[in-house]
Amino acid sequence: MLEKLATQVAIAMHQANLYKQVCSLNCTLEQQVRERTEQLQQRLAELQELSELKDFFLQAVTHDLRTPIVGMQLLLNNLLDKPLEEAIALPRAVVERLRRSSGQQLAMLDRLLDSHALEVGAAALHCEAVGLSELVGAVVSDFQPALTQNEATVELQLAEDLPPVAADPLQLRRVLENLLTNALKHNPPGLTIAVRTHRTATHVHGEVIDDGVGLEDGEALFERYVRGKGSRYRAGLGLGLYLCRQIVEAHGGQIGADSRPGAGARFWFTLPLTDG
C-alpha cells in the first residue's frame, strides 16, 4: 500500500509540475500576445500618421506649386489671345512675374531635395571659422529690400566679442534667411524684428524676435510639412523651419521657438564653440 501510495504521490507531483509549466507557458504566451498586439497597434498608428502626412504633403505640393504655374498660364493665355499676325511684346512687368514664379517653383523643389539630403546625412558640411555677429549683419543687409517691401524694421543687438564657431557659412546663412523670411511671411506689414547674438561658456546664441501676430505650438513648427497656425499669413511647403532644425542639429546645436497667438514670436538657436 505504501508503494502504491508513493506512486500515486509521485504521479500527482508530476502532474502538478506539468500544470505549473502549462500555466507559466500560458502566461508567457499571453504576455507575448499583448506585446505583439501593442506593437501592431503602434505600427498601425504610425501608418495612419504617414498616410495623413502623405495626404498633406500632396495637397501642399499641389497647391503651392500650382499657384505660380497658374499665374504664368494666365499671362501666356492673355498674350496668345492677340491676333496671330501681331507680334507679341512682353512688358518688363510680365517678364519679372514669370521669372518670380519660376524662382518660387525652383526654391520649393530645392527645399524638398535639401530636406531629404540633410535627413539621410547626404549633405556634407564645409565648416570654417565663422563670426556669427558678422554673418547676421551681412544677412540683414542683404534682406533690406524685402524688409523695405514689407515695411519691417530690424533692430540689431549683436555681441562684438563673440568667438568664432566651426560652421558651414552657406548653411548657417540659410538658417538666418529662413528665420527672417518666416517672420515676414507670417505677419502683416509694419513688423519690428530684433536680431540678437550672445554667448555662454560653451555656445553662441542667435535669436530672431518679432512683435507680430504669434503662432501656435512653436516647437511643432520645426516638424516637416508643418505650417504656422493662428495666422492667415502663411504659405509654402512648411520646410523652411524644418531645414533650420536639420542644419543646426548637423552642427551640434539646438533650435527652438517661443510663441503664442497675439504675442509675437521668438526663434533661437545655439552653436557649440570651437575648441581652443
Report long-range pairs for 201-206 (Cβ below 8 Å, ≥24 apart): 202/272, 202/273, 203/253, 203/270, 203/271, 203/272, 203/273, 204/132, 204/162, 204/163, 204/165, 204/270, 204/271, 204/273, 205/268, 205/269, 205/270, 206/132, 206/136, 206/176, 206/268, 206/269, 206/270, 206/271
Query: How confident is the model over 97-114, as pLDDT tens digits?
Result: 777 667 766 666 666 666
Angstrom distance (rounded) from CA 231 to CA 214: 8
In this structure, of 20-29, 67-76, 108-117, 225-234, the range with the lowest mean pLDDT score is 225-234
Q: Is 181 exposed, middle or buried (0-12, 13-18, 19+ CB in 10 A)?
A: middle
Contact between residue 203 and residue 31 where contact means Cβ atoms under 8 Å apart: no
Banded pLDDT at 206 (limits 50, 70, 90): very high
Say what the pLDDT of residue 66 is. 64
Pairwise pLDDT comparison (27 vs 221), residue with the higher score: 27
Least confident interval from 49-58, 118-127, 129-138, 230-239: 230-239
> What CATH code is assigned to 1-123?
1.10.287.130
Band the pLDDT of 235: cuts 50, 70, 90: very low
Is the pLDDT confidence value at 56 over 70?
A: no
For residues 215 and 186, is the Cβ–Cβ distance under 8 A?
yes
8-17, 67-76, 251-260: least confidently modelled range? 67-76
- Looking at the predicted structure, is the pLDDT value of residue 172 above 80? yes
How far is CA 29 from its chain centroid? 42
What are the CA-CA distances from residue 215 to residues 43, 72, 87, 192 (Å)?
A: 31, 32, 50, 16
| 219: pLDDT strictly greater than 70 | no
What is the percent of the chain where pLDDT is above 90? 12
Residue 241: per-residue pLDDT: 82
**C-alpha closest to that of 176 among 273, 269, 271:** 269
pLDDT of residue 47: 84
Q: What is the mean pLDDT of residues 15-39?
A: 85
Residue 271 has what pLDDT? 93
- CATH fold of 128-272 reads Heat Shock Protein 90 (3.30.565)
Backbone angles phi, psi at 89, to 5 degrees: -105, 130
pLDDT of residue 107: 64
Q: What is the value of pTM for the model shown?
A: 0.58
User: 3-class DSSP state for residue 166?
Assistant: strand
209 or 98, greater pLDDT: 209
Q: Is the predicted pLDDT of residue 61 greater than 80, yes or no?
A: no
Name the pLDDT band for 205 (thresholds 50, 70, 90): very high
Q: What is the mean pLDDT of the chain?
A: 78
Query: What pLDDT is attached to residue 124?
Result: 64
Per-residue pLDDT, 110: 66
Q: What is the mean pLDDT of residues 199-221?
A: 82
Give the pLDDT score at 242: 80
**Domain ranges within the chain, ordered by starting residue:** 1-123, 128-272
Strands 203-210 and 153-158: unpaired
What DSSP assignment string belongs to 255-270? EEEEE-TTS-EEEEEE
